[in-house]
Amino acid sequence: MAHLSEHLTAPGARPAVVSDACALVDHEVGRTSGVSGLAIRSAYRVLTGVRPGMVASAIDGLLAPFADQLDPFYQEHLATGQPLADLLQAQRTSMAEALLSITDDRADRTSNRTLRRTYQRVRGSARQHVEAAAPGIAGLIAAHAPGIDWSEQSPPDPAGPPD
């Protein structure tokens, strides 16, 4: 089975994936609420104000490592036939921590103090926001990577392979 990054980072697919991921981020930021939502929206405005196009550039730069972190979930989806949205929802904490490990590392290594401080301010609530985005992440993957077409093969036996 092909690695998820082969689908998401292919030259013909990458611009559409980045565009769709930017739309997903805009949507998820816009639907945050409460005090943490206010902090997220404020941080997002700071980040996009520092450099227009920064979100698209960041997504493009993070796409391959994010695909690497999401690949085990995608491979499980392919192997079991479980809908990707259900799988990511069921494993949302693991998925969120896998993705945040990438952004944590990048934030630690950035020389831009404003970006680092802004990230540190919102990191505490970031996991719950990434978890809430699980259906959108699944939809993004489904739009750009092949899923299971059970019309061409038999679904796996839920009892597992015969002994």
58-117: pLDDT as tens digits: 999 999 999 999 999 999 999 999 999 999 999 999 999 999 999 999 999 989 888 888
Residue 120 has pLDDT above 90, yes or no: no
| 163 inside domain | no
| 157 inside domain | no
What value, to the nearest 5°, has the Cα angle with vertex 153 and ends 149 and 154?
A: 110
**What is the pLDDT, as a whole number, of residue 33?**
85
Average pLDDT, stretch 31-46? 84
**What is the pLDDT, as a whole number, of residue 47?**
76
Range of the domain at 135: 9-144
38 — pLDDT class (breaks 50, 70, 90): confident
| 75 inside domain | yes
CA distance 37 to 156: 41
- pLDDT for 121-155, tens place per residue? 878 888 998 999 999 999 999 999 988 654 444 44
9 against 38, higher pLDDT: 9
Q: Can you give the pTM of this predicted structure?
A: 0.82
39 against 80, higher pLDDT: 80
**What is the pLDDT, as a whole number, of residue 152?**
40
> Measuring CA to CA, how many Å separate 37 from each of 33, 40, 50, 140?
4, 5, 20, 23
Give yes or no for a contact between 132 and 28, defined as CB atoms under 8 angstroms apart.
yes
DSSP tally for the chain: helices H, then strands E: 8, 0
Instruction: Look at phi and psi of residue 70 and say left if phi exceeds 0, alpha if psi is from -120 to 50, else beta.
Output: alpha
CA distance 68 to 63: 9
Give yes or no for a contact between 64 and 6, defined as CB atoms under 8 angstroms apart.
no
| 2 inside domain | no
| 46 inside domain | yes
**What is the pLDDT, as a whole number, of residue 45?**
87
CA distance 158 to 122: 41
> Measuring CA to CA, how many Å separate 17 from each of 9, 86, 159?
8, 21, 36
Overall domain count for the chain: 1
| 130 inside domain | yes
**What is the pLDDT, as a whole number, of residue 161?**
44
| 79 inside domain | yes
| 21 inside domain | yes
Residue 159 has pLDDT above 80, yes or no: no
> Measuring CA to CA, how many Å separate 42 from each of 32, 113, 122?
11, 16, 10
The position carrying tokens 């505490």 is 124
